[in-house]
Amino acid sequence: MLLIVYGSLFPFQFQSCGGSLLSTSAAPANRGDLLSNILLYMPLGFFATKALRNSRTAVLLATLAGAALSFAMESLQICDAGRVPSMADVYANAGGALLGSLLAVACGSNFGAAALLALCWIGSRTLPYVPSLRPEKYRSAIRTLLFAPPPIEVFHYFALWLAAAAAFEALRPRWGLIIAIGAVIVARIIVLDLSIVPAEILGATLALIAWNFMRRTHAAALAAVVVVGLYVIVNALQPFHFLAHPRRFTWTPFLSFMRDSRENASRVFLEKSFMYGSLVWLAARAGLSFRLATILAAALVFALRLTQIYLPGRSAEVTDPLMVLLAAVTIRALGE
* Domain co-membership, 196 together with 164: yes
What is 249-287 written as a DSSP string?
PB-STTHHHHHS-HHHHHHHHHHHHHHHHHHHHHHHHTT
Q: Are residues 222 and 322 in the same domain?
A: yes
Helix axes 58-77, 2-9, angle to 10 degrees: 30
184 or 53, higher pLDDT:
184
Q: Give me the number of domains the chain comprises.
A: 2
In terms of domains, do 25 and 164 share one? no
Look at residue 319 and tell me whether its pLDDT is greater than 90. Answer: yes
Residue that is last in its domain, among 87, 108, 129: 108
If 0-12 CB within 10 Å is exposed, 13-18 middle and 19+ buried, where does residue 40 land? buried
Sign for the pseudo-dihedral over CA of 233, 118, 264, 201:
positive
Question: How far apart are the C-alpha atoms of 193 and 266, rounded to whole Å?
Answer: 15
> Same domain for 78 and 177?
no
Report pLDDT for 248.
94
Looking at the fold, whether 162 and 285 belong to one and the same domain comes out as yes
Confidence of residue 336 (pLDDT cuts 50, 70, 90): low
Q: What is the DSSP letter of 13?
A: -
Mean pLDDT of 327-333: 94
**Residue 32: closest CA among 87, 105, 89:** 89
Alpha carbon distance 220, 227 (integer Å): 11
What's the pLDDT at 145?
85
Backbone angles phi, psi at 18, to 5 degrees: -155, 175
Say if residue 172's pLDDT is above 70: yes
Q: Looking at the structure, tell me whether residues 134 and 90 fall in a common domain.
A: no
DSSP state of 54: T
- C-alpha–C-alpha distance, residues 160 and 178, integer Å: 14
Higher pLDDT, 336 or 186: 186
- 250-283 pLDDT per residue, tens: 999 999 999 999 999 999 999 999 999 999 999 9
Quickly list H helices, the chain. 2-9, 31-51, 58-77, 87-107, 113-126, 135-143, 151-171, 176-190, 198-214, 220-237, 255-259, 262-285, 290-307, 319-333
User: Are 151 and 255 found together in one domain?
Assistant: yes
Q: Does 136 lie in the same domain as 39? A: no
Confidence band, pLDDT 50/70/90 cuts, at residue 292: very high
Residue after which a domain boundary falls, among 83, 108, 133: 108
Q: Do both 68 and 150 map to the same domain?
A: no
Mean pLDDT of 130-141: 90
Cis peptide leading into residue 11 (ω within 30°):
yes
**Residues 47 and 136 grouped into a single domain:** no
**Does residue 264 sit in the same domain as residue 180?**
yes
Looking at the structure, tell me whether residues 130 and 167 fall in a common domain.
yes
pLDDT value at position 147?
84
- Three-class DSSP category at 119: helix
Q: How would residue 109 be classed by pLDDT, with cut points 50, 70 and 90?
A: confident
The residue out of 88, 108, 128 marking a domain boundary is 108
Q: Which domain holds residue 275?
A: 113-333
pLDDT class for 38, splitting at 50, 70, 90? very high
What is the three-class DSSP state of 171? Answer: helix
Indicate the average pLDDT of the chain. Answer: 93
